[in-house]
Amino acid sequence: MSSQERQQKFVVITGANGGIGEALCETFAAKGYNVIATDIQDAAKSGLQHRHYVSIDLNRFVADEGYGNNKTAEILTLVGESKLHCLINNAAVQILGGVDSLSRSEWQTTLNVNLQAPFFLAQAFTNKLEAAKGSVVNISSIHAKLTKKNFVAYATSKAALSGMTRAMAVDLGPRIRVNAIEPAAIKTAMLIDGFKDKPEKLEVLESFHPVEQLGKPAEVAQLAHLLAESSMRFMSGEVLSITGGIRNVLHDPA
Ligand SMILES: NC(=O)c1ccc[n+]([C@@H]2O[C@H](COP(=O)([O-])OP(=O)(O)OC[C@H]3O[C@@H](n4cnc5c(N)ncnc54)[C@H](O)[C@@H]3O)[C@@H](O)[C@H]2O)c1
- pLDDT tens string 19-47: 999 999 999 999 999 999 999 999 998 77
Q: What is the pLDDT of residue 77?
A: 98
CA atoms in the 13 A half-sphere facing the CB of 9: 20
Cα 250 to the chain's mean position, in Å? 28
Per-residue confidence band for 6, with pLDDT thresholds at 50, 70 and 90: very low
Closest residue (by CA) to atom 13 of ligand 1?
20
Q: What is the pLDDT of residue 190?
A: 80
Instruction: Kindly report the average pLDDT of the chain as a whole number.
Output: 94
**Pairs from 189-196 (Cβ < 8 Å, separation ≥ 24):** 189/18, 189/19, 190/18, 190/19, 190/92, 190/94, 191/19, 193/94, 194/94, 194/96
Question: Residues 188-216: what's their mean pLDDT?
Answer: 91
Per-residue confidence band for 194, with pLDDT thresholds at 50, 70 and 90: confident
Check pLDDT > 70 for residue 186. yes
**What pLDDT digit, counting tens, does each position of 34-81 carry?**
999 999 999 998 776 668 999 999 999 999 999 999 999 999 999 999
215 lines ligand 1 (CB under 6 A): no
**Residue 45: closest CA among 6, 75, 15:** 15
Ligand 1 centroid to residue 181 C-alpha, Å: 13
Q: What is the pLDDT of residue 251?
A: 85
Ligand 1 centroid to residue 4 C-alpha, Å: 32
For residue 185, give the ligand 1 atom closest to its CA. Answer: 3
18 lines ligand 1 (CB under 6 A): yes
Check pLDDT > 80 for residue 4. no
Check pLDDT > 60 for residue 7. no
- Structural domains in the chain, CATH included, are 3-242 (3.40.50.720)
186 lines ligand 1 (CB under 6 A): yes
Taking the C-alpha atoms of residue 206 and residue 198, their distance in angstroms, rounded to an integer, is: 14
141 lines ligand 1 (CB under 6 A): yes
**What pLDDT digit, counting tens, does each position of 116-150 carry?**
999 999 999 999 999 999 999 999 999 999 999 99
Question: Residues 173-180: what's their mean pLDDT?
Answer: 98
**Pairs from 218-222 (Cβ < 8 Å, separation ≥ 24):** 218/23, 218/26, 218/27, 219/186, 220/20, 220/23, 220/24, 220/139, 220/181, 220/183, 220/186, 221/20, 221/23, 221/24, 221/26, 221/27, 221/28, 222/27
Please report, to the nearest 10 degrees, the dihedral formed by the alpha carbons of residues 32, 47, 43, 66 taken in order: 20
Check pLDDT > 70 for residue 2. no
